[in-house]
A = this chain, B = another copy of it.
């Protein structure tokens, strides 16, 4: 039977909640430009596929995705939709509160919109833990692939770069137009890097301004990084690495009393 909550009647949901040992997964993405070779929904697809694969392996309950994220810096390209972070906090808080009321008190937020959504999720998670007595974990692919990305010879985290593209090629090949990919190699800036693997001194991440994002989008269609180096097989290894970690997080939560 499907791991998705929306497919179940409430009777089936009742059984699934028991079998899940109280663990739910909430996939959260974004609808934002991903250059000329990836679809706008990339971040949501990533969250959805991670949630689904882990849900099937573990009996965690997977709830319908939050398709929209915080993407103010990508409004420079058509199709991007951005939601205020305070609204995303309230939305996700209410999802968590409803789940908790039904006994799903150990919740994993999967952030398909690497790094950016983490910020408001942290505020949401703290409030939910304090007020609702739940346990929240934030699972972000960029932070959860630090061990593998170097091994695979993939470059640093950028946007629509070889990491994301390889992953999409493995899971959603029909939605990738690799022939349209353009490279925009990441230049090192003194005292600033968004890559979680970066080991030197750095300022903290703030989304780009409109002007800055516009300039950047004009260079290579909106990519930061080298998507032409993408590879479906690396995408597979990357995906399995993430799933292994996600399953480990689910099982650790299930093992808690």
Contact = CB atoms under 8 A, between A and B. Distances in A.
Query: Chain A contact residues: over half helix, strand or loop, or mixed?
Result: mixed
Given A79-B8, A119-B119, A119-B123, A87 B85 contact: no
Given A90-B84, A147-B200, A201-B144, A8 B137 contact: no
Contact of A222 (B10, B98, B249): B10
A65 interface: yes
A148 to B, nearest CB: 8
Interface in A3-59: 4-11, 13-14, 17, 31, 33-41, 44-45
A228 interface: no
Query: Looking at A78, A136, A210, A248, which has the most chain B CB atoms within 10 Å of its CB?
Result: A78
Interface string A116-134: 0011111101100110000
B210 A130 contact: yes
A99 B81 CA distance: 7
A180 B9 CA distance: 10
A207 interface: yes
A249 B206 contact: no
A220 interface: no
A170 to B, nearest CB: 17
User: How many A residues are at the interface, by size bracket?
Assistant: 35 or more
B210 A136 contact: no
A68 B65 CA distance: 9
B146 A79 contact: no
Contact of A203 (B11, B45, B143): B143
A177 B1 CA distance: 14
Given A6-B44, A9-B39, A245-B191, A144 B98 contact: no
A201 B244 CA distance: 11
A14 B103 CA distance: 39
A39 B63 CA distance: 13
Interface string A205-224: 11101100000000001100
11 contacts: A10-B33, A41-B64, A67-B67, A122-B204, A138-B204, A140-B204, A144-B191, A146-B200, A146-B202, A191-B248, A191-B252
Enumerate the 9 nearest inter-chain pairs by beta-carbon distance, A residue then B residue, closest first.
Answer: A6-B41, A13-B79, A64-B67, A138-B204, A81-B98, A10-B77, A10-B33, A87-B90, A125-B206
